[in-house]
Structure 1
Amino acid sequence: MMSGNNNKPYTSGGQSMGSTRGDDTPASAVAVHGLVKRYGDMLALDYFDLDVHQGEIFGLLGPNGSGKSTAINCILALLTYDEGEIRVFGKPVTPTSYDVKRRIGIVPQNVAVFNELTVTENIDYFCSLYITDRKRRTELVDQAIDFVGLGEFRKFRPGKLSGGLKRRLNIACGIAHQPDLIFFDEPTVAVDPQSRNAILEGIQRLNREGATIVYTSHYMEEVEQIADRILIMDHGRHLALGTAEELKGMIGMGERISIATLDLDDKVLQRVRSLPFVIEAVWDGKELDVRCRRGERNLVDLLDVLNAGGINVGHLSSRPPTLNDVFLELTGTALRDSTEHAETRE
């Protein structure tokens, strides 16, 4: 479990959530306008826009190949781009913008540590890229180790750590210099649920203590759990932006009803599909899954049709729309399906 020492909390120099300019407009941490990135004939970023407010957790949601990592690498000046403008804390970013880059931390999707170094030595090395004073760096390394809960492993080399502990080490290396802006690129890939929860709790704590977070993922539940605002992207384009509830309110779907039944026939299924509130109805031989428009009597009317057809009904459930439903309505493809079948462009 990521945990902090009360005597040595992580403290970022960033402004707290809700920081504004004089006109009450939220201060911008990252502003991207009309970003275009091409790889030959392939358009990886298609006039992409992004505005991250200082002090927020900003979720960047999209399947593999949607352009998330490409956008981040352009923001960090690790990739050149063809058109557009990028500013971080109001300043343009170039490969030599060291004053801005010192305020940024990056936790990459792939664990990027040195197998020959111990936990402490790894964190110290990455911290030394920003902090030259040895005494101050020692304090920061200790704080980072404490923050991610690796105190008993500080002399271990990465090869001796579990996958979840390696992810925590990866995070410590990215945050040891206490940046104001931190990019987390798929930090929970292939980790166990306990480590996943610890990572998400740690990210939320970093935010509470002053850091602006940009969190990229194709795991909808994670983004919905921690993000203040969410941008959905695909094919290098900005599709929709808002809080999780605002995004769900953008679509026509009101609920998804699932009913366990083994004896549904085609005639009754067609009657279900003809109901005016039904967007889609699918039966897999065991469960009827119905996507519905907003309405107060959807479940009652659906059960009336099934009862009239003599269909035996077992367990049933109704749930509000998810971010995957938002993505499905915006793109025609489920986010998880896109993730499984997309060609990687990042």
Structure 2
Amino acid sequence: MEPRNHTAVSEFLLLGLTEDPALQPLIFSLFLSMYLVTILGNLLIILAVSSDAHLHTPMYFFLSNLSLTDICVSTTTIPKTLVNIQVHTQSISYTGCLSQLCFVLIFGGLENCLLAVMAYDRYVAICHPLRYMVIMNPRLCVLLVLLCLLVTTVNALLHTLMVLRLSFCSALEIPHFFCELTQVITLSCSDTLINNLLVFWGTSLFAGVPLSGIIFSYARIVSSILRIPSVGGRYKAFSTCGSHLSVVSLFYGTGFGVYMSSAVSDSSIKNVVASMMYMVVPQMLNPFIYSLRNKEMKGALGHLFTASPSSL
């Protein structure tokens, strides 16, 4: 089959979870419900943090940025799926596919980096409590978020520009509900060695480095907590990390599940479901984890709901 140049490509086809028309209403309802819960939950976290002066601390500053990132990740992928199901089409334009691919890489990588930054914040709070506000000053907090955004944006643009140079065959079906980088590369008729190398190094960088930082931070945290003489003191110190540790476990646990699923299974449906667990579920559950496990957050949400309109 003769490849055609990428400039002739007008659209890709997103096959989604299933092509069975009878299941489309169920899938639409599932995605819509998860999206609405994600948006509402994370918006409440952002509003609670911004409205409560007691939460104007580095930990909650990073949490509000994580919630904003969760909204962006879900908005990048789910609305297009909902539109396609509603209008009974599977198409996404070439430009739309590459744009979606780029934004998924930006916000997915940003979430990864923010979790590492939040682990560092907990490390400073527990291991250097007397210097916490000096080290984690507002300027450093903003710079850390901007640095994470800059690095992930450069990485995403690099991958996207490398995809632009590829040529594609006539079979442009993506067995996914969004334009995932490796799936798009697989469709190419060009030499994809450079692209695959970039994927390998990018994955190693944006998974390995933040995860190593998280492991290092928590190793120091555990070591510091074990030196606290009282059981109550140890529990109080570790409780400040409980929510973040739960989010980290969910994020990397589902990510590891996606990797294992793609490695041991050739079923595209299983891979799509596994990816949905990674791209949709953590973003939906993060607000519940932080609100249910955090007394300060529950108090702020309570004040947010009980506040009079004039005080908002």
TMscore range, shorter length: under 0.3
Decide which structure has greater strand share: 1
* TM-score normalised by length of structure 2: 0.23
* TM-score normalised by length of structure 1: 0.22
The higher radius of gyration belongs to 1
Which structure has more relative contact order (CA 8 Å, sep 6+)? It is: 2
